[in-house]
Structure 1
Amino acid sequence: MGTGSSIFLTGGILSGQVMGLKEVLGKAQYWPLLLSTTCIPALLQLQLLPWFPESPRYLLIDKGDEERCKKALNQLHGLAGSDSVLEDIQREKNNLVGFKAKKPWELFADRSIRWQVITIIVLNAAQQLNGVNAMYFYADYLFRQAGIAEEKIPYATVGTGACECLTALTCGMLVESLGRKVLISGGYILMSVCCILFTVTLALQVIHPKDRSLN
């Protein structure tokens, strides 16, 4: 369920890129139709959400409704796997007895969770700086500077979206065997190396062999 959001997000980006091709709905006269297609998943979600179970943790810990919690667990995990999950939620509920939720500024003053808070802030900030938005913002420029023909750039962008979708699928399978720390560290190291290479190559692209020979 956790990795499903990333998979559907990248799948939605890829499908939007494909529909944005000139052969599909990418022409000027089709733009209203292309933009209106976003209502399809929204309407589908509105139709399906009433059939989704409420969060079992929310039902038991916040609402105290054990019967609805069991019903939701049975729907999500089946009769065989719901008992162990219910025990975990019950244990968490017992640990939260007398616990008062902290306000945002109180989190920074609590030394016991300071490193967790710093880690979350750094990861989210780095995701915004080096994530999907930055990648697709500079995609056309990078492809154009790489010498790819203007009419071929949309197909190269679709290829980028396909690679991202494939990465989301494989990471969901690898996280159980490698762990999150390895994947996060490896991903950020790889992004840092790629950003450095992009910066160096874009900065040196104006240097031509003819210029060096004349000097």
Structure 2
Amino acid sequence: MKISKEITIFIVFLTLVVLLGLFTNPLSDIRTPANNELKVGGMNIRFEDGASESEVKAVLENHNMTTNYSIDCNTGSVGNKYYIMVDKDNLDIRRELRKGMEKENKDWIISSSATGIRKGDSYVIAVSEQAVNDEKFLSILNKYDTKVKKFVWCYISFEKPDGSRYWIPEEDAVKMKNELENNESIFTVSIDYINDQ
């Protein structure tokens, strides 16, 4: 009888351990921030020409931003201001612009990996302020019925409910960036990291 009592107690103990294991999170699921975790304090978002602050807010609201934020559009130092949209199949205008730049020895097109953006059937090409004021450049655009447009830059700053500065983990920011860049009115999103060191 003593053996069966010990077996019963052991079985009850094992049952409790199994139940406890089922209803608690394993240690591997507990997320503790690492000291070297990259923190994102905001994002620079480049919208198409004519996007108003209310449209920017609507895009962000439709994105279901879960973090409080403030928006600051077209103030302070922004990157490239101007762009043209060129049909992906229109090689003539791109060829003529390249030849014109070589002939005039001018930098009309700002070249970097972030300036040639593919949107639908068009390329969004950042152009310099020098180009916007250059008659030769404008005559080439006019020939192809292409207009210079102006980017709308907005800085999204993450905040706590009381308005103080906040941050989100890089992983969340990258997901947010990728989702936002799927919006037709957004050309690019760049992440603004916080340097705590």
TM-score (norm 2): 0.23
Structure with greater strand share of residues: 2
Relative contact order, higher structure (CA 8 A, sep 6+): 2
Which structure shows the bigger proportion of residues in helix conformation? 1
Larger-gyration structure (1/2): 2
